[in-house]
Structure formats: C-alpha cells, structure tokens
Amino acid sequence: MQPRSIAELSTAERRAFFDRDAGVESAREDVREILPRVREEGDVALREFSKEFDGVEVANVDVTAEAERAVDDVDDDTLDAIRDAIENVRAFHERQRPSDWREEFEGRELGRRFRPIDRVGVYVPGGTAAYPSSAIMGVVPAKVAGVDHVAVATPPAEEINPVTLAAVHEAGADAVYSVGGAQAIGALAYGTETVKAVQKIVGPGNPWVTAAKAEVRGEVEIDFLAGPSEILVLADDTADPAFVAADLLAQAEHDPEASVVAVTDDEDLADAVVDEIDRQADGREREEIIREALDNDASGVLVARSMPEAVLFAEEYAAEHLSIQADDDEALLDRIDNAGSVFLGGYAPVAAGDYATGTNHVLPTGGGAKVHGGLSVDEFLRSSTVQRLDRDALDELAPTVTTLAEAEGLEAHAESVRVRLREDEADDGDSA
C-alpha cells in the first residue's frame, strides 16, 4: 500500500471508494433460490442448507436452552465484560426512549404515542469470528424499546461459541436459533415449524444475509442493508500515525471486503501511516484477512491538497465509522453530516464503540449514512398520532377542510365536517 493523491485518482478508482457494493448484488441470484425453499420446506430446508453451506448437521434448530446453559461455560472475566457492555448499551439506549405527549394547538389537542413492535428477529453473524457484541447491540435496544419477543438467529457450528450464546442470553433474547445465512433471514421472515415469524429483522451479515434482507423487505420490515465493515480516518499533522494505523487494521480484520481509508492533508503523516500499517499487520492472527482488506480497491491512504478537500471526500464517502484525529476535531465534525458513528480524538478508538461505550455498532455501510443512522431504539417502535377536537376547534377548521376536500373531489370528506356542525346548530335551535 502506498499513499495516493485524491486529485490524481482515476474515475474508476474514485468509483471503487464511493460505490461499495461488497458483493451484495452478485449474491441475489443465490438468495432467490434459497428463500422459496425455506418458505415451502421449513425446517427441512434449514437443515439441508446448514449441511451444504456450514458443513454442520443440525439436530435442534432451537438452541434457547443451550444459550442459557452457556453462561456457566464462560469464564468470570468474560462474563463480567459481557454484563458491563450490556449495562453500558442499555444506559445509552434508554436515553433514546421517547415519551408519549399531548399538547394544545390553538384549541386542538394533538399528540403522539409510541408502542413497541411485537416480534423482532436479530441476526448475529458467525463464520470466521464470533460476535457476542452483535448480539448485545441487537437484542438490548429491542428490549429497551419494550419488544415482547426477540429472536436471535446465528450460524450453526459443531459447537456454537459459548461466549456468543451467553451474550445472547444475558442480553435478554427470548428465542435462539441455530441457523445462518440467507436461510436464517427466510426463516425469520416466513416462519418454519420451529422458528416463529417476526415483524422486523435487524443486524449485519455477509453479502447473502444482506441480499436476503433486501429480498424479504416488503413482507417483513428490516433495519437497513449493512455490509462489510468500513472506517474512514480524517487526520491532520497532529495525529499519531500508530493510532491511525491501528484503527484501520482493527476494521480490516473483520472481512477481506472491509473498506479502510485514511485521508490527510499531510504527506509525512500519510507515509508514516503506511509504514505503521505494514509494521502492525505483520504477524497478526488474522493477517491474511487484513492484507486482503488492505488490497481492496475501496481501501487506501489518501492525501488531500487541503483539509477542506479531505472533508469533502469524507462527506461523499459517508463512512460507517468516522474517526477524526485532528487538532480541531469539533470544527471538522461540524462540516460533516454523513457518518454512521463518529469517534473524536486520538483516544476514542472504534473498538471502544464496537464493544463498550454504549453506542450501537450496527451501522449503515456503502454510503447508507447519507440517508439513515445506525440501529437505535427507534427501529423497534411505531408511533401513532392522537387528536381531539371540541366543537369550536372543528368550526374553526371547517373552511380549510371543506375547501380542500372539495378541491380534491371528495365531497363526503367535506360532509363529515358539515354534518357535525349542522347537528349542533339543530340542537341549539331545539333548545331555544
């Protein structure tokens, strides 16, 4: 990896940074074969796909009891860390809970109320790594919102990682299923003999999981399409190159398709970051995955002609994780709207947010931060508006309502107002 100038990037090189599909489109054809079989064959299809894709003979799809027992199989330090993370995530997300309200608006009593979705499915990735943190990030906000039934699906294994199962149980999941990939999304969306269908599916996954969420959207709600991990570090000459490199490698070890980018207006820093990347990557347990991610066309160390150019690049990139390691990080943050989660300063590594600060690490990727934020309590709530009018309030609104209703050719709408006012006038006349 060598530093590259933003100004000298070719059209194809720029497209690689900004059009980050990460293989989702290519997975859709496979997914369109998997999902109908899950709908039609239920548990039989789940077991066959687990054997075909995961190499595992699944005896029990429902592993809720195993999750409860897994707590006893985890060492005390790990269990304490799980519980500490859960408490921090719960505390942050409880601040997000909206309150019902009613107010007077010139004689009109108007308000809004919030109610949780009844049944939610949380996908917790497995595969090349165990992700107990993803269980926490999906289950806890749902429970904070008041969701009655939270089901977790996680890929099968000869022995599912007990830390993941313990985290699922401690977070408060009501059901746990040993099924992964697109077939897990299908099971949660359609239901099977064992898996109870849900109303909404949340959580990140591989391209097949993401493509499946896109396919079932409409029959069931989803949070958003979250692909492989991303980070963009915006740094000036005050940044520590070792910190910048460490953050890039931390996200690179997730997936060969991860996108890791550093942007700076200082050439010396860019050179130092590249040197640190090579030094720190050497000998890592997941070095092969890291090296593949670093060679990804959507990864690189970029040099801007100025900090405003660097900011424009970051804004267009719309990173899942945005780290600002610069002298005036608040001023730079004020100029960037598009980011999933922001980490300010040299001592706020993304890993802290991944596990323990309390913010959610299920975040939009592929530029999705331009239109929505990360997983939150809001994803698990629905709202209703409430209104009460007395006779005077209706009388005041009547000209507006009847005029617009008739302009739209909806005479019965207008009459539904007039009949109330005429009835009141008739009653007044009888009284006289």
Amino acid code (one letter) for 216:
V
Of 169, 254, 321, 361, the active-site residue reads 321
321 catalytically annotated: yes
User: Which tokens belong to 104?
Assistant: 């007077």
Known active-site residue 320: yes
Backbone angles phi, psi at 283, to 5 degrees: 85, 5
In Å, how far from its chain's centre is CA 179? 20
Measured distance CA(417)–CA(2) in Å, rounded: 71
Please, is 105 exposed, middle or buried when counting C-beta atoms within 10 Å of its C-beta (0-12, 13-18, 19+)?
Answer: exposed
Q: Which of 66, 170, 215, 320 is catalytic?
A: 320
Q: Is 12 helix (H, G, I), strand (E, B) or coil?
A: helix
Q: How far apart are CA 41 and CA 190, in angstroms?
A: 11
Residue 70 half-sphere exposure, CB side, CA atoms within 13 Å?
22
Q: Under 8 Å CB-to-CB from 82, ≥6 apart: which residues?
A: 74, 132, 136, 163, 166, 167, 170
Q: In what order do the strands lie in the sheet with 259-264?
A: 4-5, 300-303, 259-264, 230-235, 319-325, 339-344
* Residues tagged active-site: 320-321
